[in-house]
Structure formats: C-alpha cells, structure tokens
Amino acid sequence: MSEGATLVIRLGYRGAEFAGFAEQPAARTVAGELRRALETALRRPCELTCAGRTDAGVHAIAQYVSLPVTDEEAALPGTRLMRSLVALTPDDLSVQALYRAPADFSARFDALARSYRYRIAASDARPVLSWDHAWWYRGRLDVDAMNEAAQVLVGEHDFKSFCKASSAEGKPTCRYVGRLAVSRVEEAGEGLVAIDVTGNAFLHNMVRTIAGTLVEVGRGHRDAAWVARVLEARDRTAAGPCAPAKGLTFVGVEYPENSLAPWE
C-alpha cells in the first residue's frame, strides 16, 4: 500500500462493556469495534496503533489512534469519513475528531506525554451521575495528605512497586511522572476526589495502584512518608491495593507541536 499520510482519530469510550482496548479472541474490545468500522468505511484491512492501551473497564475521553492511509484515502472529505465512522461505531464508543499527520506518524511512538484522571466518590451517600466512572469509597479522605504524599512520586523513578508484578518481570520499570495532583472537584453537581497524573508512559496498573496507595494515606492508615518507602521497596506487595478500573479515565495525549492537523 502506498502510504500518503496518517489518519489520526481522537476517540472516547465508556469502558464498562469492553474487555480493554487491545483486541482479544472472542472478546469485545475498543480496537476491535473501531477496526471493523474503519474496514467497512475504507473497504480494506486496517491495523491500528494507539497512544496507550487501557484495561477492561477503563474509560477514555481522548485516546488517540493512528492508521496509515493511501493517497486516495487521504483525499476523502473529513466530514464524510466522520459521519461514516460515527454511524458504524456503537453507542459506548465516540469518534470525536479526525486529524491528518505525516506518513511516518505513530500515535504511540510520537506521544510526548499521557494524562489520566482517577475519580473517587468519597461519601457515605451513593454517587448518582458519577456512578459509572468513579470509585465509591464509603468514607472520608484527607485530600491534602494525599496530595502531599503524591509529590514523592513526581520525577524519574523506578515504579516497580506500582506495577502489576507479572508484567514487570525482565522489563524496565523506570518512568517519568511530570505532574501528580490530588484535589477536590465538582462534576455535574457531585463532589469528587480527583487524582490527576501526567507522565511519559505508564506501567500496567500503575495509575490504579498509585490511586489505591494514596487512598491508604487519605483514610489515615498510612502517613505521607510511607509512600516514599513503597517507592524505594521496588516490590508490588509494599504498595496499596489496585483501585477499581471504573474510576480511571484516559484524558489526553501530548504530541509535538504542529504534528496533527484537522482532517477537513
């Protein structure tokens, strides 16, 4: 196939009914649904590259997916292609925008940073509108203590303690976290605790394990200094629990300036 450009799709999805992003045999996945839609629209086999794979139950508001296209496909009007993909995808998957990038662009390898938000409904009252995308923690959390404890994780570190043990074997576990903040937010009239994290890349279950570990501090079971000891241990058993998948949303990707242009 003569590659004239790269089609980049900004994608959102509600993760509850997906077995994750990556395709799996006999399972409903984000990549599987999107690939089938693209193959119908372009009438050929398609192979997708994403900015970061998400696990079963995890949501996304701004996942990025890239696909090399031919010169002929590159000439297709964006409005027509957008309408086709919206019509061909299910209700829990949202094709939000189409971009044009150079032929050698990769949604994964050209990403400079990725951002996630983890939401916690910390209350005795059951959450309403945030039920499907927040962890209902029945109790109160000290957000200031959680934010203080989080700062030890900012920078370049070995995050082996915060990675699913089986996926860390024989693989590098150093990552750079540029920002990690815990704050109170209000969304759709409901008060939530938000854990916002931006980094160059993330290990398997890393953000959810960070969230579970910070909740141990927020509930008063551990102090801020404990998180530093967890980091130094480089042992998954030293950290807190892996927080539930439904509280996690992939919220954005940073790419080099001017690498993406609207597909018009």
Q: Is residue 119 helix, strand or coil?
A: strand
Cα–Cα distance list, 115 to 111, 183, 197 (Å): 11, 16, 6
Strands 59-70 and 49-50: antiparallel
From 78, 11, 136, select the one nearest 264 (Cα to Cα): 78
142 is an active site residue = no
Backbone angles phi, psi at 46, to 5 degrees: -130, 140
Distant-in-sequence, close-in-space partners of 109: CB < 8 Å, separation ≥ 6: none
3 state SS of 27: coil
User: Which of 55, 91, 92, 132 is an active site residue?
Assistant: 55
| Helix (H/G/I), strand (E/B), else coil: 36 | helix
d(CA 76, CA 124): 53
Tell me 207's DSSP state.
H
Do 33 and 96 contact (CB within 8 A), yes or no?
no
| Catalytic residue ranges | 55
